Amino acid sequence: MRRFLEGFYGYAFAVLFCLALVGVFLLVTPQSRTEHIPVVDYSMTVAELRRVAPYEVRVPEPVPAGWVPNSSSVDKRGHVTWRLGFATAQREHATLAQSDEPAQAFANRLANSDKVTGTRQIAGQAWQERFRSDKNQRTLVLPAPGVTVVVTGTAGWDELTALAASLKPLPKGTAPPSPVPSSPAPS
């Protein structure tokens, strides 16, 4: 027996024993094969933003089909900034951001670039295009009086354009749209 546990045979036996333990562990451990993307209801964030923002808030109405809102935050330090993140229908990332921060600084920071590569007409407005290839990041920027709107992420231009086209101004004092389609009542 001692001869079996020494040298090459001992080494091979130890490796096989470890692999067997790993195999048993993988068989016993529960594994989910389904995708889990957290869903957030951003209506409370929009309500807060409408109270504190000095600008007219733009919200996606409707949210593009198959998109999942997965993060929403308002930052009120210095300037009022709202970020709303999405997992797109193609499972890429897209973010809508709005702020009263100076347009150039805000757009450059979110786009990770200060280079405008073109313009795109969306819903009758001229949006700046920016692209940063090393991060595979596409950005659309709409500088407007008092607010800069940025749509950015790893999503393709068509998905970012769809998000930008879905934006509707939400004047103060109106009810926010439902961010997640309501499910039918059980019968």
Tens-place pLDDT, residues 117-134:
999 999 999 999 999 999
Residues of the chain with pLDDT under 70: 1-5, 172-187
Q: Would you say domain 43-170 falls under CATH 3.30.200.100?
A: yes
- Angle, CA 66 vertex, CA 60 and CA 70 arms, to 5°: 65
Q: Coil, helix or strand for 67?
A: coil
Which pLDDT score is estimated for 151?
96
pTM above 0.95, yes or no: no
Q: Where are the beta strands (DSSP E) in 9-162?
A: 57-60, 68-75, 81-87, 93-99, 118-122, 125-132, 137-144, 147-153
The predicted pLDDT at position 185 comes to 41
